[in-house]
Amino acid sequence: MKKIVANFKMNATVEETKRYFINFLAKVDSAKAELTFCLPYTSLATGNYFLKGTGIKLGAQNLADEDEGKCTGEISGRMLVDAGAEAVIIGHSERRAKFKESNKTINKKIKVALKNRLDIILCVGESLTEKNTLKTLETLKAQIEEGLKGLYENELENITIAYEPIWAIGNGKNATVKEIEYAVKAIRKVLTDDFSEKAGKETKVLYGGSVNIKNIQSILKAKGIDGVLIGGACLDANGFVNLINLA
């Protein structure tokens, strides 16, 4: 079964989240894909209320790099679990760019998430400049090696890698199947070289970047791809149900 992660980003109030799930759950066939909704912090309790017992996972979009204490404005892994989250996105390109999250910080966040038994969706991907200067593989290698530094092989079972080329996010310009396959092969090679053949083969790898109803089927057929991470196209409940039906 393919994995689909929905990233709401900074969208939906509590009331809008409530309306979304009432509509979505009435229409979705949740057996079509393994679903995770990564919601804003303020919508987690509502998400938990609606998703508990449905087999659909609840996730957040970030967490603090420490467990508690002097971290004004941050949310810890323990708090996410307490709010019902089972998963968390770490290292999304918008956080890397806007909040200057380094691979080192991302590595700390991954360790905190593992300690709290959260499933991790680690986002990696090159910028347009890196793509144009043929630095895609170098970027991916650094993001994975530094992000996963110090982890044990068995901990990779809790980690999904989302290949999200920055130039393809939120603009309708998805990567081609060939580009996705090239990157996914490189990601799997780094995992094989740094951990094991098993890690290279069995770690789940998703693609994210302008996935929509027109391109999801061909993207899901890309070699080495286990699913997709969806931003914009998950915000309309009816549209997202249609998209899931194509998985």
- Which active-site residues does the annotation give? 92, 164
Q: By rule CB under 6 A, what count of residues binds ligand PEP? A: 14
x-or-dash string of contact with ligand PEP, 9-48, rule CB under 6 A: x---------------------------------------
- The verdict on 164 binding ligand PEP (CB under 6 A) reads yes
> In a 3-state reduction of DSSP, which class is residue 53?
coil
> Which of 189, 192, 232, 239 is in the footprint of ligand PEP by CB under 6 A?
232
Q: How far is the CB of 78 from ligand PEP (least distance, A)?
A: 25
Residue 92 in tokens: 């999304």
* CA-to-CA dists, residue 48 to 15, 30, 39, 120, angstroms: 14, 16, 10, 18
Q: Where are the beta strands (DSSP E) in the chain?
A: 3-7, 34-38, 57-60, 87-90, 119-124, 159-163, 204-208, 227-230
Q: Does 169 bind ligand PEP (CB under 6 A)?
A: yes
Closest distance of CB 51 from ligand PEP, Å? 20
170 interacts with ligand PEP by CB under 6 A = yes
210 near ligand PEP, rule: CB under 6 A: yes
Bridge partners of 208, per DSSP, are: 229
- Rounded distance, CA 43 to CA 8, Å? 10
**Window of 37-45, 54-62, 194-202, 228-236 that interacts with ligand PEP by CB under 6 A:** 228-236
Q: Given candidates 6, 35, 51, 211, which one binds ligand PEP under the rule CB under 6 A?
A: 211
CA–CA distance, 206 with 196 (Å, rounded to integer): 19
Beta bridge partner(s), residue 177: none
Q: How far is the CB of 211 from ligand PEP (least distance, A)?
A: 5
The enclosing H or E element of 189 equals helix 177-194
User: Residue 42 CB: number of other CB atoms within 10 A?
Assistant: 12
Q: Which of 227, 171, 175, 239 is nearest to 34 (CA)?
A: 227
Of 106, 124, 229, 243, which lies in the binding site for ligand PEP, with binding defined by CB under 6 A?
A: 229
Residue from 80, 208, 240, 243 in contact with ligand PEP (CB under 6 A): 208
Instruction: Please report whether residue 203 would count as binding ligand PEP according to CB under 6 A.
Output: no
The residues of the shown chain that bind ligand PEP, judged by CB under 6 A, are 7, 9, 164, 169-170, 208-211, 229-233
